[in-house]
Amino acid sequence: MPSPPHVLVICCDHWPGELLGCAGHANVLTPTLDQLARNGRRYPRAYSECPICIPARRTLMTGLSPRSHGDRVYRDQVLLPEVTTLPQAFRNAGYQATAVGKLHVWPQRARIGFDEVILHEEGRMQFGVMDDYELFLAEQGHPGEMFGHGMGNNEYHHRAWHLPEACHVTTWTTRQMCRAIQRRDPTRPGFWYLSYCHPHPPLAPLAAYLELYRDRPIDAPYHGAWSSDRAALPWLLQASQPEAHPARDLDIAAARRAFYALCTQIDHQLRLVLGTLREEGLLDQTIIAFTSDHGDLLGNHGLWGKSRFYEGSAQVPLLLVGPAGDPRVGHHEVDPRLAAWVDLMPTLLDLAGLPVPDHCEGLSLVGEPRRELLYGEHGEGPRATRMVHDGRWKLIYYPVGNRRQLFDLDSDPRELLDRSSDPACAQRLATLELALVAQLYGGDEAWAADGRLIGLPDRAFTAGPNRTLSGQRGLHQPPPIGPSGQRAAPK
């Protein structure tokens, strides 16, 4: 019998599915990921069911939908459900499981089935944990300086990285993973989870990558007819866009340039990880998956960030490379099936020849069964939005004001034309609306009557202050004082 394959899962944060050269993007530089796509299979219809960090990562690690794992909002102090996690399923089969980078679970040092976690949590020291990256910076003579650049954690101002290149979190994460591969137990197959925190803001790439894009054109955001009048947008869209987001063309281009620079920085660092696998003699025996927990709208339709079900936010990159010669994945393949993050756990276990736990709700993306419908959800009450997608048509719903949007992604991949009021699409709209109503739970049932959506009363938007600068971090030396009134201490 052949040896079990190794598995490398590469997860980024905020990376839109379209932001790859192999996906046809004309401006971003992703040579390494483009080659991975040629070496395997790309899924251009892959989505995050709840496109925000914690709910998405709960889905990845449990194989459960938000309905089943209990978070469709962003509950940062809730335990995972008591099921066999993705790393534990591999460990049960004899694998050594190691995570490097962002895990985003509670409590922060929980291993959730990994043998070892080398942690970066983006400065969330309010929970009493100093992560391994912060400890590293202190050892390098830069204690508490991770956010010394002054850029916000959910804003789009930018500048070059302020510390030596070896201290950038992308560099640190890469080197820690290379070391983990080199230090593996040679008697066991490896399951490696490599989790980069970027291109999630703060936008502080290395100066060399800003320079790389200096003379390259940067594409402008696209705008649908439905998004041209901000005052006419659904209330939730108006309420979720801080006034500090870039508005002038020059600032928008600069923010996108810095974002692309962070992507290319990760792409180039991945060459070191793949090179380590090659030099260790493991590359041909390794399953590789590349994906992101959600995307970023980057100014498209005048919107920024995540948690919305437009393509820039909810559609994510998904590349899959099998062991050399595995016909189930092949090479130079593009698979148009409707895929979701809930499918990743059964897919990886299936490719490795391992049993899929009964609780998993997804489908193997190298198997024959195909999903006919995908339900997406984020938020609750007035701040909720929902999606139903049949592989071509997408219905996006905002209960406040009972607002529907319908897009034909085959003819309109950028969602420029809302077809919800088009008489020619009335039957399609009715079919998807009925499918969405059938999915409602947890109080959402009040949005429907007699099988039709009735929603919630509309609201008028009034701008408020952004007192935290969208979550700006401070200096972490000494560690900040947390909710308990005690200074966070290393744990």
The pLDDT tens digits of the residues spanning 84-95 come to 999 999 999 999
- pLDDT digits 0-9 by tens, 299-353: 999 999 999 999 999 999 999 999 999 999 999 999 999 999 999 999 999 999 9
In this prediction, residue 28 carries a pLDDT of 98
pLDDT higher than 50, residue 491: no
pLDDT higher than 80, residue 490: no
Per-residue pLDDT, averaged over 163-186, amounts to 98
In this prediction, residue 242 carries a pLDDT of 78
Alpha helices, DSSP H only, in 169-206? 169-182
Give CA–CA dist 385/161, Å, rounded.
Answer: 35
In this prediction, residue 241 carries a pLDDT of 78
* Residue-range domain boundaries for the chain: 6-372
- pLDDT digits 0-9 by tens, 210-268: 999 999 999 999 999 999 998 999 999 999 877 778 999 999 999 999 999 999 999 99
Share of the chain above pLDDT 70, in %: 97
Q: Which of 84, 75, 18, 74 is nearest to 47 (CA)?
A: 18
- Please name the fold of domain 6-372: Alkaline Phosphatase, subunit A (3.40.720)
Give CA–CA dist 387/50, Å, rounded.
Answer: 10
Give CA–CA dist 279/35, Å, rounded.
Answer: 18
In this prediction, residue 1 carries a pLDDT of 35
In this prediction, residue 489 carries a pLDDT of 47
Pairing type for strands 190-199 and 116-119 reads unpaired
Question: Which DSSP symbol is given to 130?
Answer: -
Residue 450 backbone class (left: φ over 0; alpha: ψ -120 to 50; beta: rest):
left
In this prediction, residue 482 carries a pLDDT of 61
In this prediction, residue 126 carries a pLDDT of 79
- pLDDT digits 0-9 by tens, 112-155: 999 999 999 998 887 888 999 999 999 999 999 999 999 999 99
- The H-or-E segment that residue 334 falls in is strand 333-334
Per-residue pLDDT, averaged over 355-370, amounts to 97
Question: Which DSSP symbol is given to 299?
Answer: T
pLDDT higher than 80, residue 480: no
- Mean of all residue pLDDT scores within the chain: 95
Helices (H) and strands (E) in the chain, counts: 12, 16
In this prediction, residue 470 carries a pLDDT of 85
- pLDDT digits 0-9 by tens, 377-428: 999 999 999 999 999 999 999 999 999 999 999 999 999 999 999 999 999 9
Residue with tokens 């980078």: 101
Beta bridge partners of 397: 386, 404
- Give the DSSP letter string of 72-127: SS--TT-PPPSS--HHHHHHHTT-EEEEEE----SSTT--TT-SEEEE--TT-GGG
In this prediction, residue 124 carries a pLDDT of 87
Beta bridge partners of 334: 42
In this prediction, residue 488 carries a pLDDT of 54
In this prediction, residue 272 carries a pLDDT of 98
Residue 348: which residues within 8 A CB-CB, separation 6 or more?
A: 7, 9, 86, 287, 289
Residue 112: which residues within 8 A CB-CB, separation 6 or more?
A: 61, 80, 85, 87, 88, 103, 105
